[in-house]
Chain A
Amino acid sequence: MSFLSLAALLVAVFVAAPIAAHLLRRRQAQEEVFPPAELVPPTQPAARRRSMLEDRALFAVRAASVLLLALLGATPFVQCARLGIARKGGASAALTIVIDDSLSMRAQLDHGPISLGKQSKFARAMEAARELADGLKSGDAVAVVLAGAPPRVALAATTNLSAVKAALDGIVPSDRATDLEGAIRLGRELLRGVPHADRRVVLLSDLADGLSDGPPLGAGSEIPVWIPLPELEAKGSDCAIRRADRSGVKVRARIVCSPVRDGKDTAGQTSASAGRTIEVVSQDKRIASAPLGGAIRAEDVVLDVPADAVKDLFVKLSPGDAIVEDDVAPVVHVDGSLPIGVVVDAATSQVATGGPPPIEQALGALQLDAEVRPLAAVPDHADELGAFAGIVIDDVPGLTPEGRKALAAWVERGGVLLSTFGKRAAAAPLGSGFDPVVPGVVRWGASPAEGAEASSAFFLGPSAEGLSKLSPEGRASFEPIAMAGADILARWADGAPLLWRRSMGRGAVFALSLPLSTDESDFVLRPAFLALLERFVGTARSRGGARVVDVGDAFTFDGYKDVAVEYVPGRLGEASQKQEVLEQNGRRLVVASLAGLYVARIDGEQTMRIAMVPEREIDLRPRKITETARAETLGGVQPALDASPYVALGLLGLFAMELMLRTWGQRREATSVS
């Protein structure tokens, strides 16, 4: 702001002039000559009455006039700017506005703790989208895509600009993960059918999609991607509570923190958790707490709560960070031992000290309240599989078609499978395989890498350090189709996947490219193996018991007639939100767009569902973009509106109102005198 603007705005100080005039005027009442004044009885000094404003409306109008006058003086230097696209030769344009409605967009623009008056990145993105919509001309085509995973079309390409505004009004923030590539691909697809020569995708995102090492966004198509608003780019760090379970007096919370931003993050070098505390809260009262370590990337924290603690507990992190919405999670009750089926060949998977196979010993040593049931073979019947919350399959030579079908159905209903692959799995006979649990062919071969890259295995916590020197005899490899939609939880030093996880329906599949045999590798002897089992059991407990899904996935309700689901907000004072039950391919499902607790009433019976914050969404490292993505040739913030005429019009209106008020006041006075 220049000196002239400041000087003009200083005129606003004269808003006190009407008050001063009133104070000066009230010191002396209106004096009139009146011969029989002696006959008039005096009254007590009405100081209070005289200090009151006689005409509040007139005073308000005059004060507003002074303020507007000051603003008018400053408006030649104050302009309202808005986001707009640059047109090629003034022709009509077609654009897809991609709005990132993921969890990371809830962060504030200055990435500090939330305070009054700050704007979230999502709000700024919506504001920019509306500015773009306001700048559209007749003939322009617009589509709207939401980049929260999975990408969705909010509005197909249309020239109806009022429909665009209506679609924008219907967009709300969510806690989803981010899929920028998918959203851009979807946006480009929507523009392929339009006849406009000038087409582009406008991405309004913080670029934090958990794939900071991925290829730069904006390349690879003739339809350019314009990424305005550099202020949205993700900054800072964040910790989130993915889920919290209670078993007896133990509350186990899964904490995930964003990695360091120098690109060399390794387990034990994160700092988002430093100085923070995890608390168990009951009705705004803290009943247990523990400090977080300063190097948490992904870790389970166990807190003891009183045995008589009420059921409605919440776990929260304090103080707040970049995203406060993910710092609170409801505590879900899990009761009883978790049935885990183990299909392992005791002959090959054994240790020299004897005893049961290492996996059974490990599950028993971890005391995860899991009931381990050794199985001779993978059950191929749904009833048999339904008795287990999780199944571990160690290097089996493929599955029969019936077994694969039953296993896939079981996983989709909430089962969690840990499948390890070795020589025997790679030598599966014709007709046997692992599809659709693990699509494609599994191969076995020598490992070019000596061990895993510890920094990629933050899923396993600090114990990932021990994977750097596995010295395996060989390792399994998978076809790329097996990796589709999977989260790589640990990689070999050469980048090949060591451990990955893929969600299927309500369940999940963990795949390990090493068998549990000590002959092939000493993975089962490493602490990371225990960490893996702990995560596996935790996942099985959450998916099979409380029916936990990642935000963006759907709760399915097969075979039920009456389904009603409500989202229960974690903050006090917020009302429950009824969720829409969709019918898709004959299945009834509810898509969870917010993290937290859902209460489902299924045929009169009330159950709970939990939606967890996606783990990769906590990674706030922004994705790289092409150099042309921010080019000014595509558009920019333009000084589009000079507020002076509007201020002047407002001033004229106030003057007219003052005249009207004065005329009315004079008439009222004349009426009272007569």
Chain B
Amino acid sequence: MRMLVLGSRPCESFRIEIPRAEQMADLLRPTTRSSSDGIPIDWGSLGPLRLRAKTLAEGVYAGSHRSARKGAGVEFGGHRPYVPGDDLRFFDRRALLRHDRMMVREFETETDRALWLCVDATASMAYRSAKAPGAKLAYGALIGAALARVALSTGDPVGLAWIGGRGALSLPAASGREAFDRVAGAMESISAAGDAKADAGAMERALSPIARRARRGSIIVLVSDLVDLPERALPAFMALGTNGRSLVVLRVLDPMEASFGFSGHVRLRAMEGSAVVETDADEVRATYQARIHGIAERAALDLARRGGRFVDATTDKPAAEVVRSVVRAVSEARA
């Protein structure tokens, strides 16, 4: 590593370490994680993510019109820290030299229709029953990637934020060829972890970047099972629906969660928290289903009041159909 010394006074001088190419590659490479860091995504038959997401998107945007806007924005929108995968064209060398920090410049356009994906990666999203094709997180990631593909194909930037999760790599809204790969890569490297109820700052960490960066006209899609979220989670998400931003909530449930397909006497342990319930499945099935349905109804009602839309899905439902439903919900929310 070379060391450059700028200025005449040694006491005022500061050293800048210029990374070599291989060191830069290491920096850009996503942080490696061990399996003990979180619950790896059980992809089941839903992988490979990129290929299936592309296939899904092809089936959805066929016939939809493409955006007339091309290229990057023209109005400077500020700086933000560099994250691996950012377009190096916007890397701000001056900021690096001046502040010893890697920054990128952002630009705004008048037609910012960014799609912000906020994906729930808490532990409960790792659940997969015997009949499900994959974990809820895998299904949500697939839908999210397909939506990103659709958005990117129309020139809209796509941002990504996580609720919980281990190795979660939040991405700013970006468009371009590499954006999909970055979104897909971030989704592939995530592990389910965390308890949103116990971690009071989890929702804050996920929503505050979106609140700061999502401009008017942005679409914010929350992909979650809405289970084990703190009571303030949905109101906080609803609060994003101001300033011309549209909200869509995609609830992803496992078929077992939707139908409560247990029988006899069972002992159920939650994946987040320490809740353990011993019950007669046949006796409480109706009550449970009413409760799970009630959550969806309340969320849909609150969203509708703010112009948002609610989409309910189970992981055994065809993904293409769900993507279409979300695209339709996005269109309705924009309208």
Contact = CB atoms under 8 A, between A and B. Distances in A.
Q: Do A and B come from one complex?
A: yes
Interface of A: 28-43, 45-46, 49-50, 54, 669, 672-674
Contact of A32 (B269, B273, B280): B269
Contacts of B288: 36, 39-41
A45 to B, nearest CB: 7
Contacts, number: 98
Interface stretch (B260-268, B299-307, B327-335): B260-268
A32 B263 contact: no
A666 B266 CA distance: 17
B311 interface: no
A36 B280 contact: no
Given A40-B284, A41-B288, A43-B280, A30 B225 contact: no
Interface in B222-252: 225, 227-228
Given A33-B127, A36-B228, A41-B277, 13 more contacts: A31-B266, A32-B262, A35-B270, A35-B271, A37-B270, A38-B270, A39-B288, A40-B260, A40-B279, A42-B278, A43-B279, A49-B280, A673-B263
Contact of B279 (A36, A42, A54): A42
Contacts of A43: 278-280, 283-284
30 contacts: A28-B267, A29-B266, A29-B278, A31-B267, A31-B276, A32-B262, A32-B267, A33-B127, A33-B269, A34-B262, A34-B269, A34-B270, A34-B271, A35-B123, A35-B254, A35-B257, A35-B272, A36-B225, A36-B257, A36-B270, A36-B288, A38-B275, A39-B227, A39-B291, A39-B295, A40-B268, A40-B279, A42-B277, A43-B278, A673-B263
B32 interface: no
Nearest to B253: A36
Contact of B266 (A32, A35, A39, A41): A32
Interface in B167-226: 225
Nearest to A46: B265
B124 interface: yes
Contacts of B16: none
B232 to A, nearest CB: 17
Nearest to A49: B265
A176 B156 CA distance: 115
B287 interface: yes
Contact of B257 (A34, A45, A46, A669): A34
B46 interface: no
Contacts of A32: 262, 266-269
Given A42-B279, A43-B279, A43-B284, A37 B269 contact: yes
B263 A669 contact: yes
B292 interface: yes
A35 B227 contact: yes
A29 B267 CA distance: 6
Contact of A35 (B124, B260, B284, B291): B124
A461 to B, nearest CB: 81
- Rank and list the top 8 A-B pairs by shortest CB-CB distance, nearest first: A35-B124, A37-B270, A34-B268, A37-B268, A31-B267, A29-B267, A36-B227, A43-B280
Among A36, A42, A673, residue most surrounded by chain B Cβ atoms (within 10 Å)? A36
A239 B275 CA distance: 82
A28 B123 CA distance: 25
Given A29-B266, A669-B263, A37 B225 contact: no
A266 to B, nearest CB: 82
B284 A29 contact: no
Contacts of A29: 265-267, 278
A39 B265 CA distance: 16
B123 to A, nearest CB: 8
B284 A41 contact: yes
Contacts of A672: 263
A39 B292 contact: yes
Given A38-B275, A43-B278, A43-B279, A50 B269 contact: no
